[in-house]
Structure 1
């Protein structure tokens, strides 16, 4: 019934209407709301739509079935072999397609469909291997940029072998977190060969020098990768180098003379078949019969034996704790020992070896010079920092704030920054009643014209002023010699100002002041110095408290006793 109605309604409809009807029918089938008979009819109608000449109809089917796990498999497989615009919808996402279907599409498809397969999030190793074998550069780049694709080491190596010259592909490969160390070495070796060919094409070097530069760059890259490979990665790298016929005697000699002893141990173990622990023990006794047998069993030339023995002897003496150089200096000492040992060899046979050792010596000398220069820079920086900390000087006052450390250094004249920078305290406007009280106290304590006394702050000044440590609440009274200014102030004016201030104090505030002073009155009490808190929104109480802290204690007690007698008399 559904099939008949669908064919009747879409027989003379336009391509847009047929595409809309196809999408609706596919959604109804995938929802699972149809009965068994209706579902069979709907499935048959969907398969019949594969013969529709309009791309829009088949594209509507592909879009509806792309992410559906319950889509009819014959329908999805047919759509995967359709026009690339339609096939890409199901090849990139459909969970119905199996690895065999994807491999077949890779083999017979175009680069557009292969790129769609390469971007699948659940791509398996067999499909990735098929892409690495037959896909072009765009598809391989898409595969390398797919972080969820599972790619084997052989597929990676095949990708580098086929299209490793492309810079974008190399960047995509090196950015992957699962790239094997063998692939990294293959990428670096290919890049070294490219650089050598570029030098030859430009006429900078001949073919022999280009080959030597490429070989030495490849060996240096192999040793650098071995430093960060770990035990397992180092063994895999050495095995890969042996398969690629790059595990040469020159590489082992370079490893020994550059203090890459773990690499040399792994290489000799790979070539001789002995365990790495056994090889390490024999290398510690280079003049023993066991090491000579190891050298012969690994297939190394006999010409290298005296130089290797002399170099390992220098290394063993340094390892035994007998002192001596370390790092590049030790490597240079080993190379010099190897060169000395080669002096007894025939000139015709040892000429190439001496030239190789001379190049190693030049490289070690450059490494030593770099290390020494870096040490001198660091030592100068430490000395300069110590000098700046030992002799601080203030910066000159300027109108502009320095933007960089170079500007700060120029302002300091090559000295240092100030240890303490004083910032102005935040000012706020006091309440009117506090300002009036302060002005009143200042008027009552006005000295004679002949007496110079520091003026109290006016109402517009910052308030409250931070008291000195000896003036804080609770600080012990320290008897000091009166200055000339305070001694000349008339006592009557001071007494009147004190009486006025005491009259404005509450009983609770006077009791609090006396209790605090009594707790700190012992001989061991010391003024407490701590940062002043930000004043609260009660400036009158703060002003009265500060003023009360400056009144002698005997006067407070006397005034309090007089007040108590007045209350009893009343």
Structure 2
């Protein structure tokens, strides 16, 4: 009888009062102790409200039902397919919706619907996959910001490949906890690829030199990224660099010349196929012939072997003089000590004055000197 009176009253009541009454009826359905007949009547009334011409009434119904798992499924589904301002609370919160239904909304609709689904407190892998595959950059940025999203490494790779050039996606990915180091490096490469064609980078440079500048910047950022990596992360990074064609002699020289012996050793293990124990023994032994043989087995150009030998020797000497050097790897002070001594010793050899490796080392040295100056400034201002 109460529901019948409600329906008669709704026929002539003003919009704002009808919206309030709709919300009250929905809450009564969810939380009041109704008899079976009363619940059946309330269910019918809620279903009839789907046809109400007033958007605010249907919006009130959606907001009242959105967070409850006891909301009538048919009503929830109808509201989810209504106008965006009505559907959004349902898509954002409703536990009634199945993953398969959420996937349909992602695949069949444009923002703001998929963007709202990306903000749900929990998102399964299938829904995440649909968002990564079909969602906009905005939806994917929201997905990355959602700690309740089940984003596997495979999905993260696909997301970077599809939307990694979008600043909002890059920022969200860098802010997300637990993103594998190799995926963060993928972002570095994408940014570098974008910069290589930028007018400011290309100004005054031919195409080859512009690409070389970008490649060196990417290698520098990659080594810096690896400085804070755990051993297992370093192995994953090395594998990614190898598979993407980025595990170059230049990157390995930069690693050893800035004190990242862990990255250098992991790269030699992967390239040579030898055990970590065997590679570590060669690097710590200090003998030139075994080291050159290892470098050759790893496929590194023979013209770089002398420089690698010098760099390894300098690193060993630094370890002897400074036992905590590994903990300082990548720091401006250690990097400057290393590169300065490597450059000095390498230039003492005959026939290297016009060597392009010397030019590269001098660029390394200039970069590190600027880093050291910035570090000094920061320490001074912080004191």
For this structure pair, what is the TM-score category when the shorter chain's length is used for normalisation? Answer: 0.7 to 0.9
Deviations 1:511-539 (Å, cap 9, x if unpaired)?
xxxxxxxxxxxxxxxxxxxxxxxxxxxxx
Question: Which stretches of structure 1, 4 residues or longer, exceed 6 Å deviation after superposition?
Answer: 372-378
Partner of 1:300: 300
Shift in Å, 1:112: 0.8
Name the SS for the 2:351 alignment partner.
helix
Name the SS for the 2:69 alignment partner.
coil
Deviations 1:270-289 (Å, cap 9, x if unpaired)?
33343433322222236466
Provide closer, same or farther for how the CA distance between residues 8 and 237 of structure 1 changes in structure 2, counting only shifts above 3 A: same
Q: Which of 323, 340, 343 is matched with 1:332 structurally?
A: 340
Cα distance in 2 between the residues matched to 1:377 and 1:55: 57
Q: Does 1:343 align with 2:351?
A: yes
Uncovered stretches (5+) of structure 2, i.e. residues with no partner: 324-332
TM alignment of 1:398-437, pairs within 5 A: none
Shift in Å, 1:296: 3.7
**Superposition RMSD in Å:** 3.6
TM alignment of 1:35-184, pairs within 5 A: 35-184=35-184
Provide closer, same or farther for how the CA distance between residues 127 and 204 of structure 1 changes in structure 2, counting only shifts above 3 A: farther
Given that residues 201 and 210 in structure 2 are in contact (C-alpha distance below 8 angstroms), is that contact kept between their aligned partners in structure 1? Answer: no
Shift in Å, 1:13: 5.8
Given that residues 68 and 95 in structure 1 are in contact (C-alpha distance below 8 angstroms), is that contact kept between their aligned partners in structure 2? Answer: yes
Shift in Å, 1:369: 7.7
Given that residues 283 and 312 in structure 2 are in contact (C-alpha distance below 8 angstroms), is that contact kept between their aligned partners in structure 1? Answer: yes
After TM superposition, the score normalised by the length of structure 2 is 0.81
Cα distance in 2 between the residues matched to 1:74 and 1:148: 27
Partner of 1:243: 243
Uncovered stretches (5+) of structure 1, i.e. residues with no partner: 382-570
After TM superposition, the score normalised by the length of structure 1 is 0.57
Deviations 1:211-266 (Å, cap 9, x if unpaired)?
11111111000110111122233223223222322122221122122322111011
Structure with the higher helix share, 1 or 2: 2
Report the count of equivalent residues.
371
Name the SS for the 1:111 alignment partner.
coil
Cα distance in 2 between the residues matched to 1:43 and 1:18: 17
Cα distance in 2 between the residues matched to 1:221 and 1:274: 27
Partner of 2:360: 359
Partner of 2:269: 269
Q: Does 1:229 align with 2:256?
A: no
Cα distance in 2 between the residues matched to 1:33 and 1:275: 70
Shift in Å, 1:156: 3.7
Cα distance in 1 between the residues matched to 2:368 and 2:164: 31
Cα distance in 2 between the residues matched to 1:193 and 1:13: 62
Partner of 2:258: 258
Name the SS for the 1:237 alignment partner.
helix
Structure whose alpha-carbon radius of gyration is higher? 1
